[in-house]
Amino acid sequence: MRLSAVSDVAKIVAFVLGSFLLAALIAPPLYEMGKGFADVALKKDTADELNWLAGKAKKAEFDLYFKRALMLSAVVLLFPLIYFLRLRVNPQRLQDTPWSIYLPKASMGPSVGQPLRKARFGFLQTLVGFLLSSGLFLAMAWVLFNLRWFHWNAPPSGDQITSILPKAAKPAFFASVIEEVVFRGALLGVFLRAFKPWFAILSLSFLFAAVHFLQPPDGAVVSDPTSARAGFEMLRLIGLRFLDPQAMLYEFTSLFLVGLILAYARFKTAALWLPIGLHAGWVFSLKMFNSIALRRTDLPKEFDIYIGHDLKEGFLPLGSLIFTWILVAIYIRMIRTPQYHDLEIDKEVKG
């Protein structure tokens, strides 16, 4: 453990906590501003874009405003985080990486095996990762349809599929690239610099799961959205999710396992190509499935242990993720070349 690097990890955790606290403070005024804007804009002859935005603001509930406040808070606090992590001091450009991204020395980790490297056939790795994750999830969806645990939201047609595909592909692309660059590209480097590889991967995966899990629960309602305490009331509702055994067992465990697989793929290949493909495949298949499928309302409650309301909850998704990890490990062994020999975790621990 390297104490100077551990302080950088503490700053990242403080950044996450600070983002939630700031969101709790600004969510109520943001809610009032949004509703006020909607009332004014919808009464006037404004541009179509403003009318569309006003309509969205009018319909949105407080939980959505809290999510937007959280995003805004993260952006605002990112600047002091960069300052305190000393990201502006002597940035080092990785000439042998295809990402053309400046990473701070703090994110580089020890010299053995941690910097991102230029991967052979990088796009092929992304394609393989996408096919592995999406293929297994969509295969599971096919099984669920055949078991009649789910049914079509509407009979699929060519036009419907054509409209759904870009809606699923866009968030899959942007979410996978942005989150992998942040979590597995920069933050994993910081964690690897502070801890041994196995602990760095576990702790970052826990942080990754927590950030995605700590979202307003579906249908969350606060007593008075305009109250200054409304944001903290929402924080309480979010925190209560940790006391929900079913949510912890199914959803949080799935998110944690996803983080482990992505961190493992990044560490073993020293590149982001494979993690981006895996991440994009999961997001794409989830978006596709949620757009066309509904769980049967008459399905017995005891079936919740196998599958929840989508492909993220239950033992079936967990089993699919474990099988994906096995296939990822096999694929990495197949593409292993001498340039990856120094990436073995046992060698890193000894170093």
Report residue 85's pLDDT band, with 50, 70 and 90 as the boundaries.
Answer: confident
More reliable by pLDDT, 125 or 314:
125
Q: Please state the separation of Cα 220 from the chain's center in Å.
A: 21
Asked if 231 and 69 touch (Cβ cutoff 8 Å), the reply is yes
Asked if 348 and 200 touch (Cβ cutoff 8 Å), the reply is no
pLDDT of 248 reads: 82
pLDDT of 351 reads: 42
- Please tell me the least confidently modeled range out of 11-20, 155-164, 217-226: 155-164
Report residue 159's pLDDT band, with 50, 70 and 90 as the boundaries.
Answer: low
Residue 336 lies in a domain: yes
**pLDDT at residue 31 greater than cutoff 80:** yes
pLDDT of 26 reads: 94
Tell me the residue range of the domain where 199 lies.
Answer: 92-350
Q: State the total domains in the chain.
A: 1
Highest mean pLDDT among 22-36, 246-260, 285-299: 22-36
Torsion, Cα of 225, 226, 231, 233 (10° steps): -60
- Please tell me the least confidently modeled range out of 50-54, 313-317, 334-338: 334-338
Instruction: Kindly state the percentage of the chain with pLDDT values over 90.
Output: 28
Highest mean pLDDT among 37-46, 220-229, 242-251: 220-229
Residue 2 lies in a domain: no
Residue 132 lies in a domain: yes
Asked if 307 and 316 touch (Cβ cutoff 8 Å), the reply is yes
Residue 19 lies in a domain: no
Report residue 48's pLDDT band, with 50, 70 and 90 as the boundaries.
Answer: low
**pLDDT at residue 302 greater than cutoff 60:** yes
Provide mean pLDDT across the span 291-319.
Answer: 82
Provide mean pLDDT across the span 131-136.
Answer: 93
pLDDT of 156 reads: 63
Report residue 322's pLDDT band, with 50, 70 and 90 as the boundaries.
Answer: very high
Residue 343 lies in a domain: yes
Amino acid in the structure at residue 255:
L
Highest mean pLDDT among 21-35, 190-204, 302-316: 21-35
Q: Please state the separation of Cα 327 from the chain's center in Å.
A: 21
Residue 59 lies in a domain: no
Residue identified by tokens 């993220």 is 312
Residue 24 lies in a domain: no
**pLDDT at residue 147 greater than cutoff 50:** yes
The span from the CA of 297 to the CA of 187, in Å, is: 41
Report residue 155's pLDDT band, with 50, 70 and 90 as the boundaries.
Answer: low
Report residue 114's pLDDT band, with 50, 70 and 90 as the boundaries.
Answer: low
Residue 70 lies in a domain: no
- Please tell me the least confidently modeled range out of 7-16, 51-60, 341-350: 341-350
**pLDDT at residue 279 greater than cutoff 80:** yes
| b/e per residue 104-140 (b: at least 16 CB within 10 A) | bebbbbeeebbbbbebeebeebbebbbebbbebbbeb
Provide mean pLDDT across the span 269-273.
Answer: 88
